[in-house]
Structures are given as structure tokens and as C-alpha cells.
Structure 1
Amino acid sequence: MTEGKASEAQRRATKRWEKNNPERVKYLRNRTAARTFVRHYADEEDIEELLEIFKKENPNYKL
């Protein structure tokens, strides 16, 4: 089994940070999934639908 590049201490620190920041971890994972979908899988229809959802439902959208 390969050990990866991170030290054991770094892996423990990352795990501890993730445990202490579950909402941020959830946000980052969802953002990554959305970006991956848009970049690699979405077609024009998907993008149009996502933009409509963003405009109608996202409180951060400014007219």
C-alpha cells in the first residue's frame, strides 16, 4: 500500500480539521462536485437550467 505524500501528522491534522469544520467540508465537497459536473459533463441545456435555478432561488443573485 502506498503511503502518499502527506506525513502521518499532516493526515491527523487534516482529519481533526474536517471533524471540527463539518459545514465547511460539506460546502467544499459540494462546490467541487458542482464544478466537476459543469466542466466535464453538463451540456448546454444543463447550463441553462442551472442558471435559471441560480437566478430564481439563490439569495446571492443580484438583479
Structure 2
Amino acid sequence: MAELSEARKRANKRWDDKNKARKLYINKRSTTKSFILNLATEADLEQIEKYIEERRSNL
């Protein structure tokens, strides 16, 4: 994979600086998906389902 140009690095940094909340959202969503698909036990999944139900009722 090619290294990013300096211009691309600066553009990425500008986007990151202007979109901190969006970047945090994307990172947390990715972490959650990875946990569920790769590490969660059956007990974890049952608890997550309860969290989802609770969240849906609060939306």
C-alpha cells in the first residue's frame, strides 16, 4: 500500500479536527462491531441485546 502524500495527510488532519464527534462515533461503532463479531460470549450477546432493547425504548 502506498504511503500517503503530505497533502493527503494534512487534508486528513483537517477533516479529523473539524469532525471530532463524527470520528469518535465511527471509531466506537467499529469497536462495537468487532467486539460482537469476534470476541463476545453468549452471555455478552444476551446482555448486549438487553442494552439494545433499552436504547430503542429511549429513542
Structure 2 length as normaliser, TM-score? Answer: 0.83
State the match for 2:41 in structure 1: 43
RMSD: 1.4
Deviation sequence 1:1-54 (CA, Å, 0-9, x none):
xxx522111111111101001100110110111011111110111011001011
Unaligned runs of 5+ in 2: none
State the match for 2:8 in structure 1: 10
Name the structure, 1 or 2, with higher relative contact order (CA <8 Å, separation 6+). 2
Unaligned runs of 5+ in 1: none
Percent identical: 30
Q: Measure, in 1, the Cα distance between the counterparts of 2:7 and 2:28.
A: 26
After TM superposition, the runs of 4+ consecutive aligned structure 1 residues lying more than 6 A away are none
| Bigger proportion of residues as helix | 2
Q: How many residues align?
A: 56
Structure 1 length as normaliser, TM-score? Answer: 0.78
